[in-house]
């Protein structure tokens, strides 16, 4: 990476740095899912202050080009003009040429979790817990929460794409609302499901999906392995 930042330039330093990073993204030098340099590395590369680096990165985060993951760093995000598109795990695996299978852990009616009460009109919801496997390797523990009105799910084969199934009932997930990401350690039970050691760090993602009319479709909670980038890249 070459520094093109000039003190005498009319643009503020953080804007110049932002443009350099943006050109790398638009040219494909930095691709979706790539981790960018740390703040300290950018300081050394561009010979600027930490404040300048932080402002440039935060601006790109707000504009949807970058995404910060607590404890892991800052990554290039697939940029959309407006709302975040809703790509299923099935879509992502097809894009990456991977085989996806699902193991159903449970499908039942249960009480709505406290953090999801704002999205549901009833005190209960339909909870579907699945292990998602990419080329036979467990990559994700996924819990999806649907309104009680979608009770047809209780009698369906859920081992394939839920979105393709929803489409058959004229339900069309379109975009994301809530999209929270953090780093979490697997519990002993979760580690057993993943067949990995206890306390392994994974991405913990909570999201909410709407249709094109902004009608609530479902909430989802995912625990995703990030230690196998050559097998699968996960995009939010």
Top pLDDT among 79 and 229 is at 229
The 10s digit of each residue's pLDDT in 169-195 is 999 998 887 788 999 999 999 999 999
Question: CB neighbours of 205 closer than 8 A, spacing ≥ 6?
Answer: 179, 180, 181, 220, 221, 222, 223, 224, 236
Give pLDDT, residue 34: 87
Q: Which range, of 77-81, 86-90, 164-168, 228-232, averages the lowest pLDDT? A: 77-81
Burial class (CB in 10 A: 0-12, 13-18, 19+), 143: middle
What's the chain's length in residues? Answer: 236
Measured distance CA(50)–CA(60) in Å, rounded: 16
* pLDDT at residue 82 in the model: 40
Confidence at residue 55, expressed as pLDDT on a 0 to 100 scale: 92
- Residues contacting residue 100 through CB under 8 Å, at least 6 positions apart: 89, 90, 93, 132, 133, 134
- What phi, psi does 16 have (nearest 5°)? -65, -45
Query: What local confidence, expressed as pLDDT, does residue 83 receive?
Result: 41
Question: What pLDDT does residue 236 have?
Answer: 67
What percentage of the chain reaches a pLDDT higher than 90?
53
Q: For residue range 89-98, what is the model confidence (pLDDT) as tens digits?
A: 888 888 788 8
Q: What is the pTM of this model?
A: 0.65
What would the mean pLDDT of 137-141 be, rounded to a whole number? 96
Task: Say if residue 78's pLDDT is above 70.
Answer: no
What token pair was written down for 25? 């993204």
Q: What is the mean pLDDT of residues 98-122?
A: 95
| H/E run at residue 57 | helix 50-62
Most confident of 56-70, 176-190, 215-229: 215-229
Q: What does the alpha-carbon distance between residue 236 and residue 183 come to, in Å, rounded to a whole number? A: 14
> Position of tokens 């050394």?
44
Rounded CA-CA distance 67/138 in Å is: 24
pLDDT over threshold 50, residue 58:
yes
> Chain-wide mean pLDDT for the chain?
87
> For tokens 């601006």, what's the residue?
59
DSSP 213: T
Report the number of secondary-structure helices (H) and strands (E) in the chain. 6, 8
Q: Which residue has the higher pLDDT, 66 or 103?
A: 103
């Amino acid at each position: 990476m070459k520094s093109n930042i000039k003190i005498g330039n009319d643009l503020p330093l953080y804007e110049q740095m932002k443009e350099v990073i943006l050109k790398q993204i638009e040219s494909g030098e930095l691709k979706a899912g790539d981790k960018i340099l740390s703040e300290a590395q950018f300081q050394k590369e561009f010979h600027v202050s930490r404040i300048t680096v932080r402002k440039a990165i935060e601006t790109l985060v707000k504009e949807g080009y970058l995404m910060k993951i607590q404890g892991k760093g800052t990554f290039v995000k697939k940029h959309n003009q407006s709302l975040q598109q809703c790509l299923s795990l099935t879509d992502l695996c097809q894009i990456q040429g991977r085989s996806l299978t699902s193991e159903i852990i449970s499908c039942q009616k249960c009480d709505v979790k406290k953090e999801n009460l704002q999205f549901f009109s009833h005190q209960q919801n339909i909870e579907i817990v699945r292990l998602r496997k990419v080329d036979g390797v467990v990559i994700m523990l996924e819990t999806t929460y649907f309104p009680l009105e979608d009770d047809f799910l209780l009698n369906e084969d859920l081992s394939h794409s839920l979105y393709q199934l929803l489409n058959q009932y004229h339900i069309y997930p379109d975009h994301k609302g809530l999209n929270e990401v953090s780093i979490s350690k697997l519990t002993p039970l979760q580690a057993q499901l993943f067949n990995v050691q206890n306390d392994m760090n994974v991405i913990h993602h909570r999201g909410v999906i709407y249709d094109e009319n902004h009608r609530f479709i479902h909430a989802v909670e995912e625990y995703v392995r990030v230690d196998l980038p050559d097998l699968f890249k996960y995009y939010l």
